[in-house]
Each structure stands twice: as structure tokens, then as C-alpha cells.
Structure 1
Amino acid sequence: MSDDGQPAPGRGYRKGPVLLRGRQIPTTTSDQRLLSGPSGGAAWLHDDPWRVMRIQSEFVEGFGALAEVGPAVSVFGSARTRPGSPEYVVATEVARRLVEAGYAVITGGGPGIMEAANRGAKEAGGVSIGLGIELPFEQGMNDWVDLGVNFRYFFARKTMFVKYSEGFIVLPGGFGTLDELFEALTLVQTHKVIEFPIVLVGRAHWQGLLDWITGPVVAAGLISPVDRELIQVVDTAEDAVRVVLERGAELRAAEEAATAQAEAAQEAADAASDEP
């Protein structure tokens, strides 16, 4: 299946580094087995510690594979989007412009918008990355991925998106896309990560969600009005990449200013300590 639960033809089922086909494909995923409660007995006492080792290996593999990709931006969107559709074309253009600006492109590695972004990155001569996930009847990595990493666990995969991305560009999508969007928003709002750019592409598609956020959600005091400013909305690939570049420049300037301030403070402290 795709990330949003749609049946999709595949090349087998990946369980970490293992490829399974036919009757070897399990009926549950690693996430299901991890999150299921004890079903009687104490077998979970023996199974869960080994799962910790698998989880650790996923982080090690992911960190090792992505550590040297350089600056990157994640592009999210529906697995259902058809080649040649307006959204597919925009995603391809977004990725091409990101590569021209010096970024690698990271997607979930599947079809639809993910394929379009990987295609745009590869055709532009950039680094095209896919972070796949273990799902029943998984569709496999799309053919435009140059660097692919498959994960058993969603939370390990999400960590890689956040750790190695300097921004998120989000095109129309379903539950999986919304999950990734709100994960990023929550991390930025709670200051768990720096305020990297989060850009929604397609104002007509996203307007209903934005009206709900700025209307009932703000009115009920569930978020602050300023939180809406964490999201930028555009209609073109050019504007999406421009927002990423402008925010990246702001963050670099702020970091350089903070570094200079810290160095000046240290020099002043050193000078004061040298005085008799």
C-alpha cells in the first residue's frame, strides 16, 4: 500500500534489509507489533528488548546514509497524484528549483508527488533521496530515487525528515501529508527545532484548513494568532522555493550574529579576567 493506504502494485515487501514476497509477507507491520499491548503471558518481555535493537539500527543506518547529503528540503504530498497532473508538474518544478539553489530533495520515496519531486531532483542533476516505510503490499521506491533508505518504524523515518531538512514544502495530500505537516508545525511551535520554513503549495486546496485554524482554533484560544505565521502559502514552485531561500538566509544571518555576540562576550570576559 501507499502511505495513505491505497493498494499499489509492488516489487515485494521490505522488512528492514529483508525483501519478502508471496506467502512470506506478514499480515502485520513492525509498527503494529511494537504498539500492540501484551496479549497474555510474558513474551513481550523478551520481544520488546530486541525491538529496541532494531530501532537503534534504523537510526544508525539512517544517520550513516544521510550524514553527508548537505543542505536538503523535504517535499511532501499525495501518493495518489497522477503523472502529468498540475500538482505533479508543480512538484517536479519545485524539486528542480531546489536543486538549482543547492539543496538535495527528500521525499517518502513512493509514487505521486513523491515520485514527481524525486524526478525533478534527478533530472536537474541533484541528490534525490527517498525515505521509504514498511507497509503491507509496499510499492517500493520510485525509479527516480538515487539514495533510498527503508524504515520499519514511522517515528524513526520522521526523525530523518526533520534532522536532515532545512525546510518543508507541502503539496496537496491526505492523512499522511497532514501528519507530516502537523509534525513539523508542532516541533517549530514548541521550539524543539529552529523555525525552519513550512510552505504549503496550492492556496485553493489549503484554504479550508487555514480558515479553520485562523477561525475556530484561534477563537477558542487553542493556539495563538501568531502561530498562523508559521505557515506560508503560495501557488507556484517559484514562490515556494523563494520562501525557503529567504528563510534560510534569515536563519544563517541570525546564527552568525549570535556567534559573533558570543565571541565578543567571551573576549570581554577574557579581558576582564586579565586585569589586575
Structure 2
Amino acid sequence: MSEVDEALPKPTSTGPKHRAEVRQGPVVRRGRQVQPTTTDQRLLDSRGPADWVHTDPWRVLRIQAEFIEGFGALAELGPAISVFGSARTPAGAPEYALAERVGRALAEAGFAVITGGGPGIMEAANKGASEAGGVSVGLGIELPFEQGLNEWVDLGLNFRYFFVRKTMFVKYSQGFVVFPGGFGTFDELFEALTLVQTKKVTSFPIVLMGSDYWSGLVDWLQDTVAKTGRISPEDVDLLHVTDDVSEVVRIMCAAQRRLDVR
């Protein structure tokens, strides 16, 4: 019998109230869940399989590390706007040129520009900000088909977890500019809408760039979702639809002034 076995309390009965019990920090293990070795012993014993690096407790440490790295890198960023849109937008497309102009205009207005760091709309906004002498930020994500951060990112972070990355977008942005895109763009858009609607974030403008692309969604929200009581009619007003770069800058600057007054 090992020292560990001797140290474990022994059941005096087969009933559930008399099972062996071991406490490991906040975790209580009883009966068959009691492990034959201690946490220190498993840490210091270099033998055995490496499956533990894929366990949930270890993932928690990775998640914590991602939050710490993100907070540390972005804490002194200053006022920033996140720009979202399709990674599939080619460089010669009108939307690419428009995103480049938006990135440049935001940088000239004193905002850092944050994107997902990929190609397409993200690359265009980063390019515009970087060429204007602004801060160009890319928050990448580990995906099987991702190609890494685009060349116009000046400050880049890569994340394993979507929810950590989303936290960085919202925490360090004063507003979102959303270009035409797919599921990933919709995900960011509706997450932001939910946070604003539920007042988890305040004075947070959401601008949809491209009236032709977004008008059908806005009409559906008004004529179907709001009319059937799934949202309030004023919730639709949380969205600003425009094709005008100067309007984007005006909305974001107005929101920033409201924050400065607080």
C-alpha cells in the first residue's frame, strides 16, 4: 500500500454517507471518483500519456491566458472601431475600396481600426488605417482554412476561442461598422445588437455599410420580427444603414463625445 493510499480516508460502511472523500481545491471527490494519486504527484511525474493537455481544466488555463494576452495587448489602444465584412471580397471589388476608405477615414478621425485580421473587407480596412498612419489591429482566429493575419495589421493577436476574441472586439471598440458578409459577419452583428438591446454595452453605434445588401434584413426585422412582438419597434433603430463614409465617421465621433462627457 502506498503512502497516498494510506492517507486516503477509508469508508466504514457501504452506505453513501460513509464513502471515502478527498478534496482537491474546490473539487470534492467521493467513492469511485477518488483518484489514487495526488495533484502534485501527477504534476511532478513526467511519465505517462500527455492526454491531460486536452482536458477541460487545462483548457480553462488556455482560455485565461488568451484573456490576459488580449487585455495586455489592447489595454492602451485608445478609441477604436471594429470593421467586419466578408473575407471573400476581392481586392478589385467596390466594397473593398469602400472599406479601405472607411479604415482611412476612421484613422484620420483618431480611431484605431480593429478587424478580424483576415483578407477581403478586413484587409481593406486595415490597409486604409495603416496607410493613414493610424493603428491597424487584427484579431485572428484559429480555423482550418485561415491563412493568417493580413500584411496591413500592425498589432495582431491570434485566438483559439471565438468567445475570447468576441470579448476583445466589444471591450476595446466604441462601435461596429458592418460590411456585407456571411455567417461570421452575421454572428458579430447580432451579438453586438443583443448586447446593446440588453444594455450590456452603452452608447455603442452599429453601422451597416451597403444599403442594397442590408435593406432586406432591416425590412424583415421591421415587418416580421418587430410586428410579431419578437423585438420592440425601437430595437430596429439600433441599426444605422448608410453608404456614406462621412456618415460613418460622424456617427462614431458623436458616440465618442457622449462617452467623453460621462
Q: Which band: TM-score by shorter chain?
A: 0.7 to 0.9
> What residue is the counterpart of 2:40 in the other structure?
none
After superposition, where does 1:145-224 map in structure 2 within 5 Å? 145-224=153-232
| 1:156 alignment partner AA | V
Name which of 27, 30, 49 aligns with 2:57. 49
Pairing 1:124–2:132 present? yes
Pairing 1:110–2:118 present? yes
RMSD over aligned CA atoms reads: 1.4
| 1:65 alignment partner AA | A
Q: 2:62 is paired with a residue of what secondary structure?
A: helix
> What residue is the counterpart of 1:269 in the other structure?
none
> What residue is the counterpart of 2:253 in the other structure?
245
Deviation sequence 1:208-239 (CA, Å, 0-9, x none): 00000001101110000111111111112121
Name which of 59, 80, 89 aligns with 1:81. 89
- In the TM superposition, residue 250 of structure 1 has moved relative to its aligned partner by 3.0
Instruction: Rate the CA distance shift 1:50–1:225 in 2: closer, same or farther, 3 A.
Output: same
> What percentage of aligned pairs have identical amino acids?
67
> What residue is the counterpart of 1:30 in the other structure?
none
| 1:196 alignment partner AA | F
Contact preservation (8 Å) 1:91, 1:117:
yes
Q: 2:253 is paired with a residue of what secondary structure?
A: helix
Q: TM-score scaled by structure 2?
A: 0.78
- In the TM superposition, residue 137 of structure 1 has moved relative to its aligned partner by 3.2
Bigger relative contact order, structure 1 or 2, given CA contacts below 8 A and separation 6+? 1
After superposition, where does 1:254-269 map in structure 2 within 5 Å? 255=262
CA distance, structure 1, for counterparts of residue 208 and residue 53 of structure 2: 44
| 1:106 alignment partner AA | I
Which structure 2 segments of 5+ residues have no match? 1-50
Deviation sequence 1:137-190 (CA, Å, 0-9, x none): 321000000100000000000000000000000111111001000000000000
Contact preservation (8 Å) 1:198, 1:232:
yes
Q: TM-score scaled by structure 1?
A: 0.75
Higher Rg:
2
| 2:100 alignment partner AA | T
| 1:144 alignment partner AA | W
> What residue is the counterpart of 1:66 in the other structure?
74
Count matched residues: 212
